[in-house]
Structure 1
Amino acid sequence: MAGVELREIEIFLVLAEELHFGRTAERMHVTPARVSQTIKKQERAIGAELFKRTSRSVQLTPTGMVLRDGLAAGYRQIKEALSAAAAAGRGITGELNVAYSAAWCGTLVVAATDVFRARHPNCVVRIHESPLLDPIGPLRNGTHDVQLVELPIDEPDIVNGPVIFSEPRALVVPVGHPFAERDAVSLEDLSEAPMITPSGQPQYFLDHHYPRRTPKGRPIPRGPSTTAWQEVLALVGAGKGISPTCARAAQYYSRPDVVYVPFSDAPLVEYGLLWMATNSTPKVQAFTEILLEKADASAMGGTGQ
């Protein structure tokens, strides 16, 4: 069938399935005459009838069956190749490494990943937990393509994507601490106990989340520094200090030796997406759009988180 176009192959395969010229024309958005002309052209090229036509029915001939079976597999391969090429042209292929900082961020990332995989099956998504120590490093060395983390992050080579959601703050204190009996604490209360702080974070990030002074200027004593969230909880539980966190941590990191007390006056914790300025790819943009969709669905009572 030299010179036969892909469209003509599609018409033949649809007619072989429908066995009806009118329905084939409707599916292919052409006239029945165009279907008939296409089949006659193919029959002339082959030198044999492909269909037996009567006023009541259309049936494949043995030659038509051979052609149908031979073309079907090849046509599927062609369609798959075209689809893969289109995805590659949009950049939605290969591998995407997505990281998150906190467990509640991970829940949202997993939900978004399920949607992303369904929409872009040619792109493999791998999910990672962002380390408390050097959270920006995996972006810079290419281990992570995009991260959902606490803000602020202000680096010239890193793009700050949209803020995905915000959460109220709480103070995690040891059981038996005077604050543990309160309904709420204030930022001024931070001067009353050593603050456990993480290592490896930018100084401006520490100043925002782990300040050295209260709003009225009272100094906040420093406690031990840590490199992992579970170390923070262990130190707090052992009475070595206190630590600010997201109020939702109480749901995900419950322990018998710590208590989460909400702040009455602290600003919300904002969570946003980060990626390298050199890595603003279509697949990063596509994942960002889906993550926003899932966050919006969660805010409206859906299943985003």
Structure 2
Amino acid sequence: MELREIEIFLTLAEELHFGRTAERLHVTPARVSQAIKKQERAIGAELFKRTSRTVQLTPIGAELRDGLARGHRQIKEALAAAAAAGQGITGELSVAYSAPWCGSLVMAAADVFRERHPHCVIHLHDSQLNDFLGPLRESRDLQMSELPIDEPDIVSGPVLFTEPRALVVPAGHALAGRDTVSLEDLATVPLVTIDGQPRYFLDLHYPHRTPRGRLVPRGPTASSWQEVLALVGAGKGASPTCARAARYYSRPDIAFVPFSDAPPVEYGLLWSATRNTPRLRAFVGTVLETAAAGSAA
């Protein structure tokens, strides 16, 4: 669920009226209805009970409202902090991103931030997959990466955007000719994994069993994304990724096949809990604004 959809859901949960919600958010009632239907399809349950006269939250909808409201307050507080910091933000910020599509959003936000705070210098970096938390703990200010990250010393911001998941396989593999693959297909090919990532992160992105309980075999490990692609191209296994990777990493020896049933990959900002400076908060606010405006394409 992306930021605009969260805003639509929370506003409708408060107004309980599609027309007033649309008016508050300066969109059409049809846009509100489409967003809610999309959320309900993704969750697999009704969030609102609608009649010709009333709109009411379902128990699941009320639970979702309570959970999302906390994160939404954090977003608003970050934006307020950025606005309060205003002029006078100086110094340097070191910002990393784990993938080109994350870099697009970070760079768009950096352009806006430089216009607002011309005396603050932003350094952009490509993060290393096998140690993407190390620099964050040592010296880096911010990072946009795949989620989830659950570390006591790392702050994990809200989900900024999501991407459909795909499986990258050797070009000659039987799965390469398919229109889609399923999570059950993971039992038929070894997974190439990344060294140095938290166990819970690996377990989510590289599952050990399929939904039906079949064992997912393990292939070799890699220390970088380019090494993953080289191993896959050499026929050593396959690797889950996001579908957009096909646009950036096309090679003749690999194929990207979309999943038909896998959850999307979520992306968000990470920063050290000990490095909560005004310029960091201002940049976080700018990234949130940029993502909400749809500049993550």
1:121 matched to 2:118? The reply is yes
Shift of 1:88: 8.9
State the Cα RMSD in Å: 1.6
Matched with 1:242 is: 238
Asked whether the 8 Å contact 1:91–1:281 carries over to 2, the reply is no
Q: Which runs of 4+ in 1 moved over 6 A?
A: 87-91
TM-score, normalised with respect to structure 1 = 0.68
1:155 aligns with 2:151: yes
Note the alpha carbon deviations across 1:42-86, whole angstroms, 9 max, x for none. xxxxxxxxxxxxxxxxxxxxxxxxxxxxxxxxxxxxxxxxxxxxx
- Alignment-mate amino acid for residue 138 of structure 2: N
Q: Relative contact order (C-alpha < 8 Å, sep 6+): which is higher?
A: 2
Q: Check the 8 A contact 2:109/2:287 in 1, yes or no.
A: yes
**Structure 1 residues 246-261: aligned runs within 5 Å:** 246-261=242-257
Q: 2:222 aligns with which of 213, 216, 226?
A: 226
Q: Which residue of 2 aligns with 1:110?
A: 107
1:201 is aligned to 2:201: no
Q: Which residue of 169, 184, 188 maps to 2:180?
A: 184
Equivalence map 1:70-85=2 (5 Å): none
Q: Would the aligned equivalents of 2:165 and 2:262 in 1 still touch at CA under 8 Å?
A: yes
Gaps of 5+ in 2: 1-83
Contact residue 90 and residue 282 of structure 1 kept, 8 A: no
Identity over aligned residues, as a percent? 68
Task: Name the structure 2 match of 1:279.
Answer: 275
Distance 2:244 2:109 in 1: 20
Q: Deviations over 1:166-189 (max 9, x none)?
A: 111000001121111111000010
Counterpart of 2:170 (choices 159, 171, 174) is 174
Does 2:128 match 1:138?
A: no
Q: Distance in 1 between matches of 2:159 and 2:124?
A: 20
Deviation sequence 1:97-121 (CA, Å, 0-9, x none) = 0000001111111111111111001
- Partners of 1:216 and 1:91 in 2: how far apart? 56
Per-residue CA deviations over 1:183-236 (Å, capped at 9, x if unaligned) read 100001001011000000000000010011111111111000000000000111
> Do the aligned residues in 2 keep the contact of 1:91 with 1:282 (CA within 8 Å)?
no
The superposition leaves residues 273-296 of structure 1 with CA deviations (integer Å, 9 ceiling, x where unpaired) of 000111122211211121122222
What letter is aligned with 1:252? Y
* Aligned counterpart, 1:264: 260
SS in 1 for 2:130: coil
- TM (norm. structure 2) is 0.70
Letter of the aligned partner of 1:115 in structure 2? V
C-alpha separation between the residues in 2 aligned to 1:172 and 1:178? 12
- The one-letter amino acid paired with 2:100 is A
Which sections of structure 1, spanning at least 5 residues, go unmatched?
1-86
Counterparts of 2:93 and 2:128, CA distance in 1: 18
Instruction: Give the alignment partner of residue 217 of structure 1, picking from 208, 213, 217.
Output: 213
Between structure 1 and structure 2, the one with the greater Rg is 1
Q: Residues 273, 128 of structure 1: CA spacing in aligned structure 2 closer, same or farther, 3 A cutoff?
A: same
* Counterparts of 1:280 and 1:101, CA distance in 2: 21
Letter in 2 for 1:190: L
Q: Distance in 2 between matches of 1:286 and 1:183?
A: 43
Kindly state the Cα deviation for residue 297 of structure 1 after the two structures are TM-superposed: 2.4
How many angstroms apart in 2 are the aligned matches of 1:193 and 1:236?
A: 11
Matches of 2:296 and 2:206, distance apart in 1:
30
Question: Per-residue deviation at 1:90?
Answer: 7.1
Residue 134 of structure 1 and its aligned partner are, at CA, apart by 1.2
Question: What is the rounded CA distance, in whole Å, between the counterparts of 2:281 and 2:160 in structure 1?
Answer: 14
SS at match of 2:131: coil
Please state whether the residue corresponding to 2:293 is helix, strand or coil: helix
SS at match of 2:255: strand
In the aligned structure 1, how far is the partner of 2:188 from the partner of 2:97? 32
| Count of paired positions | 214
Aligned to 2:168, the other structure's residue is in SS state: strand
